[in-house]
A and B are shown apart, each in its own frame.
Chain A
Amino acid sequence: DAGVIQSPRHEVTEMGQEVTLRCKPISGHNSLFWYRQTMMRGLELLIYFNNNVPIDDSGMPEDRFSAKMPNASFSTLKIQPSEPRDSAVYFCASSSGQGLSGELFFGEGSRLTVL
């Protein structure tokens, strides 16, 4: 079975450019999470969706960040305009929510470098 699929794996861009990260969760999973990982702050939850609806976006750093989940099989995280401090690895994870098992299945991450 395919796991969580993220693209791109690596992105290098210049400050001010728009960045779009993509995620395809595991089929049948109804919860989706975006995390950001940095050396300084560790793994931070940015936003999570349940049944395609954003439930908690309190971790989104600022208005430059936005996330959408137009359907159960696709989500995007957009940064516009990007800044050097946005450089990090961004992970998408999904979960089935069955019985609140809580196990998160992570993608391999998108490493973003903003110059």
Chain B
Amino acid sequence: AQSVTQPDIHITVSEGASLELRCNYSYGATPYLFWYVQSPGQGLQLLLKYFSGDTLVQGIKGFEAEFKRSQSSFNLRKPSVHWSDAAEYFCAVGPSGGYQKVTFGIGTKLQVIP
């Protein structure tokens, strides 16, 4: 069965600092990997996704993520965090074939301080 682990429930960073959110997945084959962001009171919005090819993926809002097969990881990064990035971030994994059953991690809540 597929699963996602986000080891950090809560992270606080200063505005302008760099950010890395960790994600490890378990999946028996080549996965599709996603990062979603949820602002308070809102639904989830896709930041970026990895299917194949270049293991460094660029997304919206200046985010990027790197797929490392050997480490079963798909960490999300941003060089300089803005106060508006405060939100909850979800890593997700889905199958590369068949129906699109996507499994989400527990989420990492990001707090940005001045």
The stretch of B10-18, B64-72, B91-99 that contacts the partner chain: B91-99
- CB distance A31 to B106 under 8 Å? no
How long is the Cα–Cα vector from A47 to B44 in the complex, in angstroms?
17
Complex Cα gap A102–B43 (Å): 16
Write out the residue numbers on chain B whose beta carbons fall within 8 Å of the beta carbon of A109. 42-43
Q: Which of A45, A101, A104 has the most CB of B within 10 A?
A: A104
Chain B residues contacting A48 (CB-CB under 8 Å) are: 99-101
Q: Are B94 and A102 in contact (CB under 8 A)?
A: yes
Binary interface encoding of chain A residues 77-107 relative to chain B, with 1 for a CB under 8 A from any of its CBs, else 0:
0000000000000010101010011111011
Q: Are A42 and B99 in contact (CB under 8 A)?
A: no
Q: Which of B46, B99, B104 contacts A31 (CB 8 A)?
A: B99
Contact A43 B94 (CB under 8 A): no
B residues less than 8 Å from A100 (CB atoms): 32, 96-97, 100
**Inter-chain contact B105/A103, CB cutoff 8 Å:** no
- A contact residues, total (Cβ < 8 Å): 24
From known contacts A107-B43, A108-B42, A108-B43, infer whether A43 and B100 are also in contact, taking CB-CB under 8 Å: no
Instruction: Show the binding face of B for A, using Cβ within 8 Å.
Output: 32, 34, 36, 41-46, 49, 51, 90, 94, 96-97, 99-107
Q: Which A residues lie at the B interface, using CB under 8 A?
A: 4, 31, 33, 35, 42-43, 45, 48, 50, 55-56, 91, 93, 95, 97, 100-104, 106-109
- Apart from A56-B101, A101-B49, A102-B34, what are 11 other A-B pairs with CB-CB below 8 Å? A42-B105, A42-B107, A93-B44, A100-B96, A102-B32, A102-B49, A102-B94, A104-B46, A104-B100, A106-B45, A109-B43
